[in-house]
Structure 1
Amino acid sequence: MGLIPEIDKTETIQNVRDFFNEDKYYPTIKRRSGEYGLKSPQMDVTGVHGSRFGNSSENMMMMFTEYSQANRAVEEAIEGCCLVSQIIIRKRYIERLEIYRIRPLINRYGHETYDNADKKACLELADCIERKAWELNVDKQIIPNLLVFKNGS
């Protein structure tokens, strides 16, 4: 048993794929980090006017900020990956291009098979995104820890 726990590669790769494919993660981050539906805060000096449930504009602004930080964490994590991994993550998981369109883009950087390059990209992103999410103080429910460690290590 070493100081660094061993990563369960299969589970980690699946977590990264789920992160981009399941609506509750990246698609929601992308939607909520945009400027959709934001309004200027409504100020009332009397403090009487308004909802008893709080300032909805303020809540929307807080949500926008939180999801913008999450989107920034994803973008910065992608930048931390090697060039081939960046291409795969952006083209396959964000832009949703077909594999046959991505292969020519990565083949010029080496002779690695697409499947191996895709797995490597997922593992690199899982390594990078955990640090960026922590650094930018992103809620674990928005960007969960994608790394899975093997039992006993």
Structure 2
Amino acid sequence: MTIAEAVATVFWLGHVETFRVALAVGVTAPALWAARTLPAWARAASFLAILLAGLWASAVWAGATGLVDDGTIVIDEVAGAAFLLFLLVTRRAPVAAALLAVYVALDRLKPWPIGLTEEIPGALGVMVDDLAAALPVAVAALAARPLLRRLG
């Protein structure tokens, strides 16, 4: 077991056969949601650290296994979750959970044009497809914010 494997698989959660993505996002979500209290620069730096660690670990793990994204890599989903929660900064845990559920579903389904990002080679492709799945969720949530504020 290497540090790269621990990072790529989010402390070996990626080796769990069933629901590995939901498990990795669910286990890390409380810490990501708690980070909403950090200043914007700290959230941005945290996201960048997760992204860079994911790029490094994905590349090292792919070199070790011979597979670019063998399914055990789940740091990319955690990066997408961090992007979503760090950008939106919701105070309500149920809202954060709902956003993450939609994100995980989009990541799993990879509808067009999100699925096109899977053709990006290497570790960058591993990480970008999950950020692409988080982006429409973030845009929809930001667009819905004024309506949600009126509803209380």
- Tell me: higher relative CO, structure 1 or 2? Use CA pairs within 8 A at least 6 residues apart: 1
TM-score (norm 1): 0.27
Q: Which has the larger radius of gyration?
A: 1
Structure with more helix by fraction:
2
TM-score (norm 2): 0.27
